[in-house]
Amino acid sequence: MQISRLSIKNFRNFAIGDFEFKDRTIVTGANGSGKTSLVEAIYYLSSFKSFRASSDAKVLKIGETEFVVNIDGEREGEKFNMGLQYQNLRKAISCNRERVEKLTDAFGIFLSAVLSIYDKQLSHPYSIYRRKYADRLISTIDDDYFAALLSYHSVLKQKNNLLKNNSDLNLIDTYSSQMSKRSEYIYEKRIEFASYFEDVLNGVYAQVFGKEELIKVRYFSSKDGGDYTDATLLESARKKRDQEIKKRHSVCGVHLDDYIITVDGKP
């Protein structure tokens, strides 16, 4: 897709902004002039979140109650438009002037990629940052993955609330069963992503540095060995039931898995 125009309102420090792009565009300017904000605005229409802010409210211009981002362009020879409005903690998304009712339906319509200093999540000591990075990439091209991920975390939240409050503990197995059913698909897609990402990293490394290194991307599961199926996942959760009750939170599941990246055997 070729973007020809970007319009923003109350986004970061921009009250109103209207920008036109040619085949190739290089944005220049002084530090703090808003260069990264333009890239961030475009990225918003593919992931519906910022790649550098922790919440939507942080990109909203100070003193305002809504922000708007719109792009116009051409895709496969036809005119294309996509827009997003944020107001009252809600997002309204449109494609070719028609509202997209569900966020899950909007993922994958417009794809973009960002390489920035904020991509240090891959080498962050905490696994949650690598999971979020990978989940964001997979979700943009796989609606089913995104839906499974949302559903999984919804059930996980309910289970953790149950454990935290020591309420009806008989429901633990019910929540664990629901999480297991969603986990199998999430696991399969993450394994596929790890293999694909490994090939990409090796190819890019060879192109940039002119030499080959053995880059490995391994998906590390918090589950105790065995096949990663609905049944084995549930069995693993049941074995850790007493531990979860004691710690008052879930101690196993895909929300704790990790990606281990090594270059010639070194992290």
Which residues are paired to 16 by β-bridges?
9
Beta-strand pair 66-75/2-11? antiparallel
Greatest pairwise CA separation for the chain in angstroms: 61
The CA-atom distances, in angstroms, between 40 and each of 20, 28, 100, 163 are 16, 15, 21, 38
Percent of the chain predicted with pLDDT > 90: 57
**pLDDT value at 67 more than 90:** yes
List, for residues 211-223, the tens digit of each pLDDT value: 777 899 999 887 7
CATH 2.40.40.20 fits 2-106, yes or no: no
Determine how many CB atoms are found less than 10 A away from the CB of residue 232: 16
**pLDDT computed for residue 100 by the predictor:** 94
Q: Could you give the CA distance from residue 92 to residue 84 in angstroms, rounded to a whole number?
A: 6
Instruction: With residue 138 as reference, give the H or E element that holds it.
Output: helix 127-141
CATH 3.40.50.300 domain extents, the chain: 2-106
15-23: Cβ within 8 A, 24+ apart: 15/61
**pLDDT computed for residue 224 by the predictor:** 62
Closest-CA residue to 118 (of 186, 47, 65, 189): 47
User: What average pLDDT does the segment 44-55 reach?
Assistant: 90
Return the CATH class of domain 121-263: mainly alpha
Q: Could you give the CA distance from residue 49 to residue 43 in angstroms, rounded to a whole number?
A: 8
Instruction: Provide the mean pLDDT of the chain.
Output: 89
Find the angle CA(229)-CA(230)-CA(236) to the nearest 5 degrees.
85
CATH 1.20.1050.90 domain extents, the chain: 121-263
Sign of torsion over alpha carbons 47, 48, 54, 58: positive
Beta strands in 55-160 (DSSP E): 66-75, 78-87, 90-95, 98-100
List, for residues 166-197, the tens digit of each pLDDT value: 878 889 999 999 999 999 999 999 999 999 99
**pLDDT value at 74 more than 80:** yes
- pTM reported for the whole predicted model: 0.71
| Residue 226 pLDDT grade (very low, low, confident, very high; cuts 50, 70, 90) | low
**pLDDT value at 127 more than 90:** no
Q: Could you give the CA distance from residue 162 to residue 165 in angstroms, rounded to a whole number?
A: 5
**pLDDT computed for residue 62 by the predictor:** 95
The CA-atom distances, in angstroms, between 129 and each of 122, 156, 172 are 7, 18, 27
